[in-house]
Each structure stands twice: as C-alpha cells, then as structure tokens.
Structure 1
Amino acid sequence: MKDTTSPATREPRHDREAIARMLPAPAEWDVPQARLAHHRDRLMRHIDQHGGTAPAPTRTRPRLLRPALLAPVTALTLAGALTAGVVLAHPGARTSRDRADLRTEPAAALLTRISDVAEQRTVPTVRADQYVYTREKVRGADLSSGKAVLGPLQDSERWLSQQAGPVRQEGLQRVDGQTSRINAEFGDTAGTPAGISRPTYAWLGSLPTDPDALLAALKAQQPSTNDSAPDQWVFDEIGDLLGGVMPPRTAAALYRAAARIPGVTRAPGARDALGRQGLGIARVDSGHALRTEWVFDPADFRFLGSRTVLVKDTAYAKAGTLMSGSAEIENGVADRAGQQPAAGELTRTRDAG
C-alpha cells in the first residue's frame, strides 16, 4: 500500500524502514556482534584522535587499526601501528643463489634469517623518562559510502612515553600536521601501565626470549572480549610490535615465535604503503576474510611496513582490495614529546623519500 502521509507528518520509523529496504543485501558472512562492538569502540577512539566527533577523549594504542569492522560506518580511516625498523647492522653481501633462496624459501626459514640479523643489531637503550619516536606513512579504506574507498597517504608521527606507569597521557601524535595527545582510556583514572596495550622498551625487554614461552605469554594477554582465534590474535599482536626501538633479543624472539604460528606463509610481491616491494610474510584471518602481510627489505631485512587486503568478495569491495597499509619512514628516541630525535638517535628506512 502506498504511503500517502506527508514528509512532515510521516513517522521517522517509516523513513528508516524505507531506507533500510534500499540498502544492498549483506555479504555472505558477517562480523559477530562482540567483534563489531570491539571495532566500533576502536573506530571512535581513532575519530577522536584525528579531529572527528567522538564523545570523549579516549586511549588508543598506537597500532595499525585493522579493518575488521566489515560494515559501512562513518569516517573510517585506518591508522598506522607501532611498527618501525631500527637496523644498524647489515647482513652482508649475498650471492645470486642467496637472493634466489630468499624469494623461494619457506616462511619459517625466512623468519629465522630475519631473527638472526635482528639479534645482532645495535639499538639505543631507552630510559623511562624518554619517548620512542616513530614516523610512518599510512592509508586506509573509508567505508562510509557502503563501498571501500581508499584514502590518501597520511604522514603520522608518534612520541610514546616509556614510563612504567600507570600513566594518563601515553604520548603525542601528529597526523598531517595536526597534533593531539594519546590519552588513557576514558574513565580510566588510574592510567595505563606498561604492557601489551602500551609496550615500552623496558616491558618488551622483560618478555621471555624462548619462542614457545613468548607465544604462551602473548596468548595469555588476549582479552576475553576478543573473538579472534588465538593464533590469529598473537600474529596480529606480534605485527603490532615489530620493528620500533626494542631490545635486539626481544625482536629476534618475536620473529622466531612468529615462525611457529600455524598458517604463516610467504607473500610474493608484497609491498608497503609507499609501494616498496620486499620479502613478504602473511597470514589469513579466515574469520574475517583478511590477509595481513609484513614487508621486509630484501637487502638488510629491515621492517618496511605492512598491509591488509580482502581475500573474499564482499558487498563493499572485491577480493584483493587494499584495506590498510603502512610504510616506515624513521624512528628513534627523543627526550621530549614533540621533539625530533637527535641525529645519532634516528634511523631511516631505505628510499623513504
């Protein structure tokens, strides 16, 4: 029956129902409600930090925001992660056979090579009164229109407090010239201590270096509200911790631990957000049809960045669509938030521009 009521008198509910009927059919798979709520919360934190209209200041862990909120949302821009490669040693020249091996050897073997180099690096020791600095290029997909629209590259800088905590202000970030504070979660009057949600240099150094013990320790940190499979969750957490300024033994242990996660494979042709092609390590999150790739410099195994792509057609994008990406530019140690590290405390990635 035709609705003859005027727009002025028609109930809003009728308009909502009419609009709902116009929306495209949902994808073949959906995100569990717990997962949806989790990522909606992360989205609101991100909007708040990038000049949006979130209801209150909130804490956001500096990490690559994974696009697992697989439904149209307002102003979704996926941010970068605390990942940057500090490499002050070079593995040395390689023969053509070595280079061929790098392209074809299994993921576990490549991660072992990367681990061996990481353990020999020399990195600065970070004091509790200093800040770890990271600069990267990031981009992500906006789903507000109902279709994935890849946004432009953004320049992101972060200064992360190294205090053991708990701290209310975790650091500072600057995105395309706009500066904002990184605060503890709204309502958390005690602040956030060093840990998986705020990984300081000292906390990273306290982690076990045995790969199996490290995997167990990380898996034990998975929140009960997170519905990811434990292996996927720990792979994502390691990805968030990669690079940066951390004790060499910890960096090496993270790579060795990643090599033991089932489902970790090579990613031929992997590129970071700047288009730099490198050696790729990947894992598919089958629960959300996403593949996350880590990209490493083939010359010195430096961590270059990461990207996340769809592996299944959805209502908003086809398989193979890039959902988020990051590229490491430089990182180091600063004495104050907002201050550039001294020249001797700063490392740049290859061809960072």
Structure 2
Amino acid sequence: MNDDASSSRPVTDDVAGEVARLLPPPPVGDLTRGRHLHHRERLMHEIDHDRDQAAAKPGATPSGRRARLLRPALLMPVTALALAGALTAGLALSGDGSGSGNGGGARDTASATEGSGQAGALLGRISKAAMSTEAETVREDQFVYTRSSFREADVTSGKAVTDPLKEREIWLPQRSGPLKKLGLVRQDGESLPINPELGEENGTPAGLHRPTYRWFASLPTDPDALLKYLYAKTSESDTQEHDQVVFDEIRSLVSGQIMPPENAAAFFKAAARIPGVTKAPDARDVTGRKGTGIAREDTEHGERSEWVFDADDLSYLGARTYLTRDTVQGEKGTLLYGEAIHDQAVVDTEGARPTKGS
C-alpha cells in the first residue's frame, strides 16, 4: 500500500530480512559462501544508501557512509532486490565454512601427489621462485597496499554484463585483531572504510577471510596439510565444484596479501595437487598482459579460472574467470571477473602510497 508512514520508514536489517522472506525461492542452487557473502555485501550497501537518505531529512542524525569490501574476487555489483533473492538461496551455508556434503568439505589429501604434467612442473618453478624471494617482515602496525585494475560482471538482470575496466587501491591492516575497521579502499575518486560483515560488528580477527602476514606465517608449510586445511575451511556448493572453490580461494589469498616466502611456496605446491589444474600457455590478465599461466575449468558449471605469471620472474600478474559454454549467466567467453596487479608493498600509514624504490 502507499501509506506515507510505511513508505518513508528507514530500511533496517529487520526490514531487509522481511523482504528476503517474502520473495520466492530463486531458480538456482545454493550459492557458494563467497558469493553469498558478496550478495549480502551489496544488499548492505543499498540499505546504507536508504539510511543516508533518511538521515539527510531535517532533524535526522547523520549516519556516515559505509563501505564493506570483500576480496576482489568476490565483488559483483547487483541491486538490493536481486540480492534479497540471492540471500534466500544462500541461507543454507553457514558462516564457519561448513556446508552441504561431507561435513564441512574436508578432503583427505593423504594420497595427494606433487601434481603431474606441465601444470605441476610450472607450479613447481613458481614455488621455487616464491621461495627465493627475499623475505619481508611485516609488522602488525603496518598496512599491505595493493593497486590493481579489475573488471567484474553485473548480474542484476540475471545475465552477466561485464563492467568497464576500473582502478582500485586497497590498504589492509596487519593487526591480528579483532578489528572493527578492516581497511581502506580508494575507487572512483572516493576513499571508503572497509567495515566488518554482519555478525562481526564487534570485530573480525585475522583468519581465512581477513588474512594477515602473521596469520599466513601460522599456516602449515607442508602442501598436503595446507590443502587439507583449505578444503576443510571452504564451503561446498551446488553451484561450483569444491575443487574450483579451493582453487579460487588460493588465488585470492596469494594475490591480495604479502606473506612469508615459505608460505607462498606452499600455496603454489598445494594448487598443483588440486585435480584438473592445467597449464595455460596463452593466459592473459584483464589488461591484456600475457605471461605463462595455469588454469582450472569447472566443467560441471562451465567456468574457467586462469592465473597469469610473468614469463621471466614468475611473479603473479593477474587472473581471469570466464564462461566456457553458453549458460543462464551468458554466452561462452563472457568475463565474470578479471584482475591485474600493478603494485603491492608495505606502508606505515593507511592511505599512503609506497615511495619509489620501496
């Protein structure tokens, strides 16, 4: 109805929940935990927008803008209405990494091998290159700075429409936490704080979804043990193969932070043990830079993820994820997400750019 009082009521978390419950179930399977969190992220942006409008009215108390950011691989802009339906689909996923399937997705890697063929050989070289990198100690009072280019798919209409290439800078604090401010993002001329997810308003500690240098250093450097940990801590899903979830998780971890060399080497060795990983000799990042690469295709759902490394020093350049066949999301070849890392360094102050030569 068009009652003035109800139509002007500020949007709250309770109201958003009511909307989600009233919507019919979506015509897709469960979302992965990462995609579920992303949809929730975008819904909260819409809620905050409505709150800000309400606060702008005479006599209202200003509410301050919120920017709540996930790792770049999880960002896809959608509107609040579409998000509420997506949230309904994602309620089956728990926040602690458990999900459908074998009790949290833990995988027995006792018989895992080093990785065969060209992909295993390449990842072995990449692992050695990472191990030979000069170790850089990152203090807890410092920030990891990353400057990147990215493109992402807007799925508002139900079809993936890839947005133009954008630039982004991110500063991530290295304190173990729990933290109520998770960092700073600068994009489209705005600098906005990165705030905790729902349920973590009291602070988010360091961990898989807020990795820090010290947290990385606490992980096992044995690739079998590391892979077992990652399979146990990532959710299974009806919309993505679990092997693909872990493959994508490793990429987001190695691209978004700085870690001790022995841990970086372990992540690449672990990736070589994931079934289906192949060499991608023609891999390019989202800006077109060509290097040597590896890839994994989710054949069940028609998505392929590629990682690109510099052909000379084997440093990470970027990644792309795109459709390998026509699906409900779009036509074969549609880009779902792509990134290119241009600069990554440790800085002492949030918002500060690294100096040349640092």
Q: TM-score, normalised by structure 1?
A: 0.72
Question: Residues 127 and 268 of structure 2 are in contact (CA less than 8 Å); yes or no, is this contact kept in structure 1?
Answer: yes
Cα deviation, 1:161-215, whole Å, max 9, x if unaligned, reads: 1110111111000112211111111342321111100010111111111110110
Cα deviation, 1:307-346, whole Å, max 9, x if unaligned, reads: 001012024521122221100110101112111123343x
Residue 64 in 1 paired to residue 73 in 2?
yes
Aligned residue in 2 for 1:286: 299
Aligned residue in 2 for 1:45: 41
The letter of the residue matching 1:323 is: L
- Compared with structure 1, are the counterparts of its residues 318 and 155 closer, same or farther at alpha carbon in structure 2 (3 Å cutoff)? same
Aligned residue in 1 for 2:353: 340
Deviation at 1:285, TM superposition (A): 2.1
Question: Residues 296 and 306 of structure 2 are in contact (CA less than 8 Å); yes or no, is this contact kept in structure 1?
Answer: yes
- Compared with structure 1, are the counterparts of its residues 37 and 214 closer, same or farther at alpha carbon in structure 2 (3 Å cutoff)? closer
Question: Residues 120 and 248 of structure 1 are in contact (CA less than 8 Å); yes or no, is this contact kept in structure 2?
Answer: yes
The letter of the residue matching 2:276 is: G
Q: Secondary structure at the residue paired with 2:182? A: strand
The letter of the residue matching 1:60 is: L
Deviation at 1:66, TM superposition (A): 6.7
Matched ranges for 1:258-337 at <5 A = 258-337=271-350
The letter of the residue matching 1:164 is: S
Question: Residues 272 and 307 of structure 1 are in contact (CA less than 8 Å); yes or no, is this contact kept in structure 2?
Answer: yes
Deviation at 1:123, TM superposition (A): 4.1
Aligned residue in 2 for 1:232: 244
Residue 189 in 1 paired to residue 212 in 2?
no
Cα deviation, 1:100-127, whole Å, max 9, x if unaligned, reads: xxxxx61010000010011000142110
Aligned residue in 2 for 1:34: 30
Q: Secondary structure at the residue paired with 1:288? A: coil
Q: TM-score, normalised by structure 2?
A: 0.71
Distance in 2 between the 1:138 and 1:179 partners?
17
- Compared with structure 1, are the counterparts of its residues 32 and 134 closer, same or farther at alpha carbon in structure 2 (3 Å cutoff)? same
The letter of the residue matching 1:39 is: R
Deviation at 1:144, TM superposition (A): 3.0
The letter of the residue matching 1:268 is: P
Question: Residues 169 and 186 of structure 2 are in contact (CA less than 8 Å); yes or no, is this contact kept in structure 1?
Answer: yes
- Compared with structure 1, are the counterparts of its residues 36 and 66 closer, same or farther at alpha carbon in structure 2 (3 Å cutoff)? same
Q: Secondary structure at the residue paired with 1:275? A: coil
Deviation at 1:273, TM superposition (A): 1.1
Question: Residues 137 and 154 of structure 1 are in contact (CA less than 8 Å); yes or no, is this contact kept in structure 2?
Answer: yes
- Compared with structure 1, are the counterparts of its residues 49 and 295 closer, same or farther at alpha carbon in structure 2 (3 Å cutoff)? farther
- Compared with structure 1, are the counterparts of its residues 36 and 52 closer, same or farther at alpha carbon in structure 2 (3 Å cutoff)? farther
The letter of the residue matching 1:292 is: S
Distance in 2 between the 1:123 and 1:273 partners?
28
Cα deviation, 1:228-257, whole Å, max 9, x if unaligned, reads: 443222211101112442111011111111
Shifted more, 235-244 versus 191-200: the winner is: 235-244
Matched ranges for 1:29-178 at <5 A = 32-35=28-31, 39=35, 41-46=37-42, 53=49, 57=66, 59-65=68-74, 73=82, 106-178=118-190
Question: Residues 58 and 185 of structure 1 are in contact (CA less than 8 Å); yes or no, is this contact kept in structure 2?
Answer: no
Deviation at 1:288, TM superposition (A): 2.9
Question: Residues 45 and 57 of structure 1 are in contact (CA less than 8 Å); yes or no, is this contact kept in structure 2?
Answer: no
Q: Identity rate of aligned residues, in percent? A: 45
* Unmatched segments (≥5 aa) in structure 2: 1-25, 52-64, 84-116
Question: Residues 310 and 316 of structure 2 are in contact (CA less than 8 Å); yes or no, is this contact kept in structure 1?
Answer: yes
Aligned residue in 1 for 2:218: 206
The letter of the residue matching 1:328 is: I
- Compared with structure 1, are the counterparts of its residues 144 and 273 closer, same or farther at alpha carbon in structure 2 (3 Å cutoff)? same
- Compared with structure 1, are the counterparts of its residues 163 and 293 closer, same or farther at alpha carbon in structure 2 (3 Å cutoff)? same
Cα deviation, 1:81-116, whole Å, max 9, x if unaligned, reads: xxxxxxxxxxxxxxxxxxxxxxxx610100000100
Question: Residues 61 and 198 of structure 1 are in contact (CA less than 8 Å); yes or no, is this contact kept in structure 2?
Answer: no
- Compared with structure 1, are the counterparts of its residues 68 and 290 closer, same or farther at alpha carbon in structure 2 (3 Å cutoff)? farther
- Compared with structure 1, are the counterparts of its residues 46 and 270 closer, same or farther at alpha carbon in structure 2 (3 Å cutoff)? farther
Deviation at 1:54, TM superposition (A): 7.9
